[in-house]
Structure 1
């Protein structure tokens, strides 16, 4: 039992250490040695859980993305009205970034793992399920003439692109968004995504 507990602790320490290092230095600049030092684990313990630095990143990215998407969908489903949902998700995105800056910085600044890379299959499957849930919420509003018919990429760009750029400025220390600015981002998203003639 003790070895199992230590094994779980070791994996958790590696993931938490990786989050700190990747968030601060970026994945490419983080060495395996610095990752092990930050985590406080031995070489043997590290390789017991992960095959490489890229493996750690893939697992970490997939876990962060899944948690974010779960909260995103939960927030979206709280709102039956199209405009309320669009604006609430932008506010949620900014709030989540403020509450989880290291995790948000990773999602904003790092390229997600591709399908053939560690964590890539999990990320692809999570995105498929995520877009299905968002689409299920979106389609009735589209059919009712409230929201535009847009593909997932354009939906993301129009809905959260400006908020993501605000996050980049925020994380770089260039600008801290005000409540009015966050509200303005939500209103801009609605104006971008509503069908013409809908107010």
Structure 2
């Protein structure tokens, strides 16, 4: 990688790190070009050069954290030996991610991220293929072995992640959920919905 490319990557990282700090402290409204340039030390021209717009910054930030979340889920899942412990590990990993990265979790569960996901579903899925493939392959193998209910992969994903996403959204919006307690209770309940 050339020095120019390294500087470009460093600039992108500076802007995304600053954007998350701003998002954590002030929400989406706090992520302005002026605030980004002050917080990151990057020029306005560099922000537009690398991201095209403020929306581009938020999109890149959401994709960065989506990749991290999916990576953690894939790691948790593929480190297990059977379907039950795999499903339980994914549930705990998701809730752990939300607890450990609340600002990123808030961004990933925001209406902006939802709208982006709805309009660019195929593109986002393609960009995360390396992280999604091991999860889908794991599920297919467990369904084939009779360890999971004979359901299509998207249905199993929805049954496993739907309740977790719903709980995460409630925690983000209301804060009335104990995530540690949920991590103890939810995995077995979810397992019952997808077990053989």
Under a length normalisation based on structure 2, what TM-score does the superposition of the two structures give? 0.80
Alignment partner, residue 179 of structure 1? 180
User: Which is helix-richer, 1 or 2?
Assistant: 2
Alignment partner, residue 50 of structure 1? 51
Alignment partner, residue 86 of structure 1? 87
Q: Distance in 2 between matches of 1:155 and 1:27?
A: 32
Distance 1:159 1:45, change over 3 A: same
Q: Distance in 2 between matches of 1:145 and 1:63?
A: 35
- Partner SS, residue 111 of structure 1: helix
- Unpaired runs of 5+ residues, structure 1, are none
Q: What is the deviation of 1:184?
A: 1.3
User: Alignment length, in residue pairs?
Assistant: 193
Q: Distance in 2 between matches of 1:148 and 1:172?
A: 33
Q: Distance in 1 between matches of 2:62 and 2:14?
A: 16
Distance 1:35 1:160, change over 3 A: same
Q: What is the deviation of 1:92?
A: 0.9
- Unpaired runs of 5+ residues, structure 2, are none
Alignment partner, residue 95 of structure 1? 96
Moved more, 24-33 or 144-153: 24-33
**1:76/1:88 contact within 8 Å kept:** yes
**1:113/1:120 contact within 8 Å kept:** no
Under a length normalisation based on structure 1, what TM-score does the superposition of the two structures give? 0.79
